[in-house]
Amino acid sequence: MIPISDDNPVRLTPFMTWALILACVFVYGWEISLGSRGFDAAVNVLGFTPGTLLRSQSAPSEQMGVSPVATIFIAMFLHGSFLHLAGNMLYLWIFGNNIEDAMGHVRFTLFYFICGVAAAMAMAFMDPASTVPMVGASGAISGVLGAYMLLYPRARVTVILPLGIIFYPFRIAAVWVVGLWFLTQLVTAALTDPNQPGVAWWAHVGGFLAGLLLTPLLKSSEVPYFGPEYRRGPWN
């Protein structure tokens, strides 16, 4: 299932969601401008590598004056391919505006980056000596999905289901979309060697759990949990 929209109106203009999307697109444009060798070098040098953070490996980023801690934040804006970028930005576009609406611009921004850090720490915990660089906004966006699960599980999400060459659209409650997504991340993470190149599955799990834990602390008090399918007023 590929989500393409939700029926969940917002009160606030999601300036920070738009800014994060634009920043990721801009950085990816910069990556492409480096050429194929430069692209790979940017990922390897500026991506977050658990082994460099814990000092079990030397940090290539330090040759550029960038500390291993800083790569945690830089890596949130780097992506390894156009499809990687497009998938992440699609999820942020669909679900991010509602979480920004529920938290406000400043708290949403704080929430987003803390979830990204938690995702990186989850990878570091699972394999502290890993030399595989991690890039992408998916860890932070996983936190957004965790918040959405708590606040809007009954919102209707339009998804498309590829059936061969036919893409079948239908609407389904967010709890099924997000729940199936998280189950897939959890099962795949458990079955995958974290030190192998590929998707940072444990980062997704860590970001999602961070989102669940942080939402009660950062959401506006008037926003209820497990909200209704469709809100006609600001919060009702």
Question: Could you tell me the pLDDT band of residue 74, with boundaries at 50, 70 and 90?
Answer: very high
Calpha distance 41→55 (Å, rounded): 20
More confident residue, 130 or 179: 179
The three-class DSSP label of residue 167 is strand
Q: Count structural domains, the chain.
A: 1
pLDDT (tens digit, 9 = 90+) per residue, 8-66? 999 999 999 999 999 999 999 999 999 999 999 999 899 998 888 766 556 777 777 78
CATH number where 89 lies: 1.20.1540.10
Question: Could you tell me the pLDDT band of residue 235, with boundaries at 50, 70 and 90?
Answer: very low
Whether 68 is in a domain gets the answer yes
Mean pLDDT of the chain: 89
Whether 236 is in a domain gets the answer no
Task: Report yes or no: 138 and 88 within 8 Å, Cβ to Cβ.
Answer: yes
Whether 107 is in a domain gets the answer yes
Upper half-sphere CA count for residue 161 (Cβ side, 13 Å): 8
pTM: 0.90
